A and B are shown apart, each in its own frame.
Chain A
Amino acid sequence: MIEVKNVTKKFGDFKAVDNISFKVESGEVFAFLGPNGAGKTTTIKMLTTLLRPTEGEIFLDGHNVIADPSATRRSFGIVFQDPSLDNELTAYENMQLHAVLYGVSKKDYLKRIPKLLELVELIDRKDAFVKNFSGGMKRRLEIARGLLHHPKVLFLDEPTIGLDPQTRNHMWNYIHNLNKEEKVTIFFTTHHMEEVERMAQKIAIIDNGKIIEYGTPEHIKKKGGSESLEDAFIALTGKQIRAEEGDMSKNLMRTAAKMMK
């Protein structure tokens, strides 16, 4: 379903992703793990056509992601790590806009939107403006929106940040069903190892832009020499705390890249 071949992404001299290759099979639940700043989000952005790799090839559902981004976009859905809602619209309007963008028929979205808003417990706030929502509510709305259409591959970039255990549980149940019943391939990142234990069939661990381990959860545990995935992860990636990922480091990288020019 997804094939990544020798992909590198440079920001100036900084290699955010360094010659990575891996495969995700159709119908698989795939966990993409790594410490902050390891290159997870950069990789997801390349897989979802938002960034162009400096080198390498990516195929998704048979489409060449770099050469044919628009065909690729028909095959996946994504829940971003950082917010992407329109604050000036209501929760329902955000859902509806997404449904139209993704070509979900009116018949389907009239049924699905209330169901999903119920799932994330926002149904009684459906006509409230998103700008008045708390961080957690926005997060829940993003998840509901990401589940609105049923793509071949669903990317979830740290979807459970800031969610309470109840919502996390609802969400993973829903995703589990989506995977089982509609054979949606799931590609997710997280820092919660119990979510990986519960969901993942395959794991890749990325660190400093390189894939350092790839395989089943059992394989990772064996490599890390531990019964718990958390300990194995720490054994493989070291105990050192990493620089914060996200916009700050991206901006630093971009500033550095601009200065190089």
Chain B
Amino acid sequence: MRTIYILWVRQLKRFTRKKASLVGALGQPVIFLFAFGFGLSPIYEKAGGGSYIQFIAPGIIAMTILFTSIFTGVEIIWDKQFGFLKETFVAPVSRIEIFLGKTLGGMTVAVIQGLLVFLITLIAGFRPQSFAMLPLAFGFLLLVAFLFSALGTTIAARLDDMQSFPLIINFIIQPLFYLSGALFPVHGLVKALDIITKINPLTYGVDGMRYALSGSNVFSPVLSASVLVGVSIITVGVGLYQFSKIEL
């Protein structure tokens, strides 16, 4: 436990000391919120979808969580390059503790960013449907943050340098986000897109958050939570296996 705790603290210290990246990470959701939120709002309302801000705000929060948690997980490539991972790997602690310390640290950082973006959506005019549902929304936030932080760490376990970083952005993060139902409703889609969105775990995270925050959903919240937990368990399993294979 001490190991997980100290690695978690390390992650938070690194985060709070990098003010530039904190502000930088808020830039994207703000642009999305204003460009899409206000840009598409008139069409969306004409089409009878109700308020687009109400619809897109949970998606933007999920996006923030997705990006931040994967980025923080992927930071382990830096730890490899700067040698710090060696220091943790020869220490008498289990790889499970290292993996969890890293993942929980990334999760916490992502949750903080997510909450900041939630505040920004409030400024932009978003109103949660009920305050009683906020704890549930927070629960989904935690699940999504944990899953993608673990995924980032797992991916990075296989990679040796930052040159693969664009690959991660373009082939993992972007598809996960754009094909998740964060920006558009996931019912009545063409078959291919329908299938893709349904195998994308972020879809369930967005749907769960949208249920709790805006009161609209496609899947039952129990199903959404179960999918997130299930995929998290698989990801952690794969991640731990990858960790046991790392040679430095």
Contact = CB atoms under 8 A, between A and B. Distances in A.
Interface stretch (A44-52, A176-184, A197-205, A215-223): A44-52
Contact of B14 (A70, A76, A80, A88): A88
Given A70-B92, A74-B92, A103-B92, A89 B10 contact: yes
A50 B86 contact: yes
Contact of B87 (A45, A49, A98, A103): A98
A45 B86 CA distance: 10
A41 B187 CA distance: 58
Nearest to B14: A88
A224 to B, nearest CB: 34
A73 B13 CA distance: 27
Given A82-B83, A88-B17, A89-B10, A101 B247 contact: no
B171 interface: no
Nearest to B88: A101
Contacts of A85: 82-84, 87
B17 A50 contact: no
Contacts of B93: 73, 101
A100 interface: yes
B44 interface: no
Given A87-B82, A89-B13, A97 B90 contact: no
A86 interface: yes
B13 A88 contact: yes
A101 B83 contact: no
Interface string B72-115: 00000001001110111111111000000000000000000000
Contacts of A100: 2-3, 5-6
Contact of A97 (B6, B17, B18, B92): B6
B interface residue count range (under 10 / 10 to 19 / 20 to 34 / 35 or more): 20 to 34
Contacts of B88: 101
Contacts of A83: 82-83
Contacts of A97: 6, 10
Contacts of A70: 92, 94
A50 B90 contact: yes
Nearest to B95: A70
Interface in A66-85: 70, 73-74, 76, 78, 80, 82-85
A88 B91 CA distance: 20
Nearest to B6: A100
A80 B85 CA distance: 12
B90 A52 contact: no
A56 to B, nearest CB: 16
Nearest to B84: A86
B248 interface: yes
Interface in B234-248: 247-248
A121 interface: no
A82 B10 CA distance: 21
A45 B13 contact: no
Nearest to A98: B87
A180 to B, nearest CB: 24
Contacts of B18: 88
Interface string A8-52: 000000000000000000000000000000000000010011111
A213 interface: no
A251 B218 CA distance: 50
A102 interface: yes
A73 B87 contact: no
A57 interface: no
A93 interface: yes
Report which residue of A74, A78, A88, A102 has the largest number of chain B beta carbons within 10 angstroms of its beta carbon: A88
A166 B247 CA distance: 35
Contacts of B87: 80, 84-85, 98, 101
A135 to B, nearest CB: 13
The 9 closest A-B pairs by CB, nearest first: A84-B83, A101-B91, A74-B92, A73-B92, A84-B87, A100-B6, A50-B248, A88-B14, A84-B86
17 contacts: A50-B89, A50-B90, A73-B93, A74-B92, A82-B83, A85-B84, A85-B87, A86-B82, A86-B84, A87-B82, A89-B14, A93-B13, A98-B87, A98-B91, A101-B6, A101-B87, A101-B88
Interface of B: 2-3, 5-6, 10, 13-14, 17-18, 79, 82-84, 86-94, 247-248
Given A50-B247, A89-B13, 13 more contacts: A80-B83, A84-B82, A84-B84, A84-B86, A85-B83, A86-B82, A88-B13, A88-B14, A88-B17, A97-B10, A98-B91, A100-B3, A102-B91
